[in-house]
Amino acid sequence: MANKHQKLDHTDLRILVLVQRDGKLAQAEIAKRVGLSTAAVNERLKKLEKAGVIRRYAALVDPAAVGAALTAFVEVFIEHPRHETAFIESMLGLDEVQECHYVTGEFSLLLKVRVRDVESLQGLLLHRLNCLEGVRQTRTLIVLSTLKEECLVPIEVKGDAS
């Protein structure tokens, strides 16, 4: 990852809007929409990838279709900062943990987890989170239904209605 904070021009931003919405969009189509050659779009995408602006490409899978129907948010209180690194490393290795954020407030970290059912959630909490050294307390919120869930990063392109 060369320079994550490189200066992005208007065309880079327009390309990012397009690939965010459809990662399978052909480079020729992107080129047509932004007014560049396919080769120029290819080069810009490679630079954005190398700089870490585009971190990776992925398919968005329906969680319920693959047996991960239950979503929960888990607030984690770590009793001392010396335990945070080991805890975070453990979270990076758990597929059930989709997100891990440092947060302000009473708790140290906020996790978004997806599991099959309540029993799976209980197992995750008891055997993979609460038993870790330094975890003093967790508080769990189970999602009843999801009204909006998006992975798009808002990108403002000046003078564009994209």
CA–CA distance, 34 with 15 (Å, rounded to integer):
7
Beta-ladder partners of 110: 75, 101
Mean pLDDT for 120-137 is 97
Residue 136 backbone dihedrals phi, psi, to 5 degrees: -90, -35
Q: Are residues 138 and 71 in the same domain?
A: yes
Judge whether 136 and 78 are in contact, CB under 8 Å.
yes
Q: CA-CA distances (angstroms) from residue 146 to 14, 105, 141?
A: 29, 24, 13
Whether 49 is in a domain gets the answer yes
113: exposed, middle or buried (Cβ count in 10 Å: 0-12, 13-18, 19+): buried
Q: What is the pLDDT of residues 52-90, one digit of tens each?
A: 999 999 999 999 999 999 999 999 999 999 999 999 999
Q: Are residues 52 and 75 in the same domain?
A: no
For the chain, the average pLDDT equals: 94
- Domain CATH number, residue 132: 3.30.70.920
Is residue 3's pLDDT more than 60? no
Q: Are residues 52 and 90 in the same domain?
A: no
How confident is residue 162, by pLDDT bands cut at 50, 70 and 90?
very low
Whether 149 is in a domain gets the answer no
Q: Are residues 115 and 67 in the same domain?
A: yes
Q: Are residues 48 and 103 in the same domain?
A: no
- Domain CATH number, residue 19: 1.10.10.10
Mean pLDDT for 131-153 is 96
Last residue of a domain, one of 45, 60, 75: 60
Q: Are residues 98 and 80 in the same domain?
A: yes
- Residues of the domain holding 13: 1-60
Q: Are residues 81 and 46 in the same domain?
A: no
CA–CA distance, 161 with 131 (Å, rounded to integer):
50
**Residue carrying the six token digits 């080991």:** 86
Using only C-alpha atoms, the chain has a radius of gyration, in whole angstroms, of 20
Is residue 160's pLDDT more than 70? no
| pLDDT at residue 7, rounded to an integer | 87
CA–CA distance, 147 with 162 (Å, rounded to integer):
24
